[in-house]
Amino acid sequence: MTMSGPFLELTGVEKGFGAHGVLRGLDLRVERGAVLTILGGSGSGKSVLLKHMIGLLRPDRGQIAIEGRDTEAFTESDWISVRKRIGYVFQGAALFDSMTVFENIAYPLREHGRGTEEHVARRVAECLEAVGLPGVEAQLPAALSGGMRKRVGVARAIALQPEAILYDEPTTGLDPANSRRIGQLIRDLQSRLEVTSVVVTHDPVLCRMVSDEVALLERGRLTAQGAASELEGDQLPAIRGFLEGGALDWSHTSAERGEGAV
């Protein structure tokens, strides 16, 4: 049965570290099945916001609801159940350097007891195929390019067949060609897995490629939000102002989204 309402909703969320306020009464709805891109400069709170969505950080004030369920009283066990359903692609991929690609992707499957070793091997191969890296199971992360490490990070994030995927600056440190591959991969997984996706970035090209909805995070608040299609006009001037240094031909957004897998 398909559930109605947003997948995730934040209301009045505040978070500070010492005297420094990072999130300042933030309100956000993440609609089911969409790609929401959250734009913001360095230090705007994008990564802090993502970590609240899976309970790695807890708000000082405000409410976070997942599929209508208030998380305020969640125990760590409750959050572990949530994290099984939400894949997280860390900035820099955050792979275990001493483990092979196979062991990195197998880690969440083994940690949560997802099947026999035969099943784990089959699932690892499926995930690598999905991100365009078949046959690299035996390699160590140090032997991979930056773009390949990012894709292995995505493969690990989808291993548990999540309902949502959170991407933390997925193109940081990549050249334009690899950044484009990551954008194509996000759209391809969105289409094939039918997941809800949240992408935080300051990359205007990635934003143009992947977004259904776009929001701008400034000084701990969302100052603008709307459909990506609105950026073709003048409806979202604050977001257009943030993007004005990048590739802004929004008329080609639909065509970009139709490109194949990486």
User: What is the pLDDT at residue 13?
Assistant: 96
End-to-end CA distance of the chain: 32
**How many Cβ atoms from other residues are within 10 Å of residue 63's Cβ?**
14
- What is the full DSSP assignment across 126-167? HHHHHTT-TT-TT--GGGS-HHHHHHHHHHHHTTT--SEEEE
Q: Which two tokens stand for residue 184?
A: 């194509």
**What does pTM read for this prediction?**
0.84
Inter-residue contact 213 to 230 (CB < 8 Å): no
User: What is the pLDDT at residue 251?
Assistant: 37
Among 3.40.50.300, 1.10.3720.10, 3.40.630.10, 3.40.190.10, what is the CATH number of 8-257? Answer: 3.40.50.300
User: What is the pLDDT at residue 4?
Assistant: 60
Half-sphere exposure at residue 260, Cβ-oriented, CA atoms within 13 angstroms: 1
User: What is the pLDDT at residue 236?
Assistant: 75
pLDDT along the chain (262 residues), means of 10: 75 92 93 92 86 94 95 93 91 88 94 87 94 94 91 93 93 88 90 92 88 90 86 74 56 38 34
Q: Which two tokens stand for residue 246?
A: 């990048």
Alpha helices in the chain (DSSP H): 46-53, 76-85, 101-111, 117-130, 146-157, 176-193, 204-210, 237-243, 253-257
Half-sphere exposure at residue 51, Cβ-oriented, CA atoms within 13 angstroms: 13
Cα-based distances in Å from 143 to 107, 136, 200: 19, 10, 27
User: What is the pLDDT at residue 142?
Assistant: 93
Phi first, then psi, for residue 79 (nearest 5°) are -70, -35
